Amino acid sequence: MNTADLGLPVDVPSTALFTDQYEFTMVQAALRSGTADRHSVFEVFTRRLPEGRRYGVVAGTGRVLDAVENFRFDADILGFLREQRIVDEPTLEWLAGYRFRGDILGYPEGEVYFPGSPILRVEGSFAECVLLETVILSILNHDSAIAAAASRMSAAAGGRRLIEMGARRTHELSAVASARAAYVGGFDSTSDLAAGFRYGIPTVGTSAHAFTLLHDSERDAFRAQVDSLGRGTTLLVDTYDVAEAVRTAVEIAGPGLGAVRIDSGDLLLVAHRVRQQLDELGARDTKITVTSDLDEYAIASLAAAPVDAYGVGTQLVTGSGHPTCSMVYKLVARAKSADPSAPLEPVAKKSLGGKASVGGRKWAARRRDAEGFAEAEVVGVGPVPPGLEDRQLLVELVRGGETVAREPLDTARDRHIAARAGLPMSAIQLSRGEPVLATEYL
């Protein structure tokens, strides 16, 4: 059955139309001029980090690999392009056989990056590479923004558990991608079942205020939840009177109550009162989870509170004020002709207003100090200097059109935690500042 028959919001059998129209018109013009097959190198980078941020986080790489694999033109898509007269018939014939057969290298998912870092390098013919621009940027700009916010929240949480709860605050498909990116950035679980189903992210959830309000009393609601989910459940205690709710929760579940959740009020004050009350009632192992419009600053302000977990929604899935990373996809080198033996020539945009680019196929390495902490992001063209060969950051992702770097999501998550730990300590400060590493060009 076609998903449109089910009333679902998106019916796209491939990623080929997640593309701006000018990608197609460029291909048509390049095919006509004979330049479409020129060997070309595109790079993804950002000229600056969002204001005040000290590092960026690469996220969405796995989704990019999926998008490239699924970039196909079936009869319906070709029919649409023909009906709308987007491109001419020779171009449609070329698109019908499209498969990306080039190479992609990039920073591995979870790695940190800085202004000028060549986050992704896409290499092949001009035509096959330029078509991927929009979908690659769409994924990396969104997911990296969410992962960066998640990383800041993870650092602020200081090892306490983090739950992603933003599905109701963003587009339904963005919610799944956001949960994945948040996991890469250090979150532990999500409330979004679609993310759990698709990516294997641990899912959590118990009840909302509506469940308490459904019942004739809070006691009835707690009894129903414990009978259904067991004593290890999390009871929401701020629907009416918090102190009374905590007392009732322990009476019903006993000292083995799993957790209580606080979703309103002065969280610092209420958490201290609830912890004291739980301890006095003998529920010393019962955890406290707090929610309610949290961001990294609110999490940091609760560092002294007896809180065990944070649930974060709106601020996380909107990048905590920075919903994009301003990444761009630029041609940095191309051959003089379509001859396979033609050498590559660096090309670069010259522009006023800070939008110039640096030409040439680049490598990147992270120089470290004597104690093993990163001290500079080094980007260059040509031979890699001695001492940096084993510090290179780009890894092979796609070779000859075949994906070669599939990895579990937990690997990306662990990589990020290690990469962040390898930065100077000022990286995790929440105060506004410059990127913690300077980018050196060689």
Q: Which helix (H) or strand (E) holds 197?
A: helix 193-199
pLDDT tens-digit series, residues 118-161: 999 999 999 999 999 999 999 999 999 999 999 999 999 999 99
- pLDDT value of position 434: 94
Helix (H, G, I), strand (E, B) or coil at 95: helix
pLDDT higher than 50, residue 10: no
Q: How much is the pLDDT for 139?
A: 98
Bridge partners (DSSP) listed for residue 56: 113
Reported confidence tier of residue 13, pLDDT bands at 50, 70, 90:
low
pLDDT interval class at 8 (50, 70, 90): very low
Give the model confidence (pLDDT) of 43-58 as tens digits. 999 999 999 999 999 9
DSSP 8-state assignment for residue 49? P
pLDDT tens for residues 318-334? Answer: 999 999 999 999 999 99
Instruction: Supply 307's token pair.
Output: 């809180």
Cβ pair 53, 148 in contact under 8 A:
yes
Please state the separation of Cα 126 from the chain's center in Å: 28
For residue 412, is pLDDT > 60?
yes
The tens digit of pLDDT for each residue in 162-218 reads 999 999 999 999 999 999 999 999 999 999 999 999 999 999 999 999 999 999 999
In this structure, how many other beta carbons lie within 10 angstroms of the beta carbon of residue 272?
16
* Residue 4: predicted pLDDT: 41
Q: In what order do the strands lie in the sheet with 259-262?
A: 189-190, 161-164, 309-312, 287-290, 259-262, 234-236
Taking the C-alpha atoms of residue 147 and residue 384, their distance in angstroms, rounded to an integer, is 30
Tokens of 76: 């319906």
Q: Is 46 helix (H, G, I), strand (E, B) or coil?
A: strand
**Rounded-to-integer distance, Cα 289 and Cα 262, Å:** 6
What pLDDT, on the 0 to 100 scale, is given for residue 42?
98
pLDDT, mean of residues 23-42: 98
Phi/psi class of residue 382: alpha, beta or left (left: φ > 0; alpha: ψ in -120 to 50)? left
Position 356 scores a pLDDT of: 76
- pTM of the complete model: 0.94
Average pLDDT, the chain: 95
How large is the angle between the packed helices 89-96 and 75-83, nearest 10 degrees? 160
Place of tokens 């306490």: 160
Q: 3: how many CB neighbours lie within 10 A of its CB?
A: 12
pLDDT tops 50 at residue 5: no
Task: Please tell me the distance from the alpha carbon of residue 371 to that of residue 277, in angstroms, as a whole number.
Answer: 46
Q: What is the mean pLDDT of residues 373-394?
A: 95
Count of C-beta atoms within a 10 Å radius of residue 5: 8
From the list 408, 366, 406, 409, the residue with the least C-alpha distance to 185 is 409
Burial class, 277, CB count within 10 angstroms (exposed 0-12 / middle 13-18 / buried 19+) = middle
Please check the confidence at residue 2 and state whether its pLDDT lies above 50.
no
* pLDDT tier at 351, thresholds 50, 70, 90: confident
> Per residue in 286-316, pLDDT tens?
999 999 999 999 999 999 999 999 999 999 9
- What's the rounded mean pLDDT across residues 108-121? 98
- What percentage of the chain carries pLDDT values higher than 70? 97
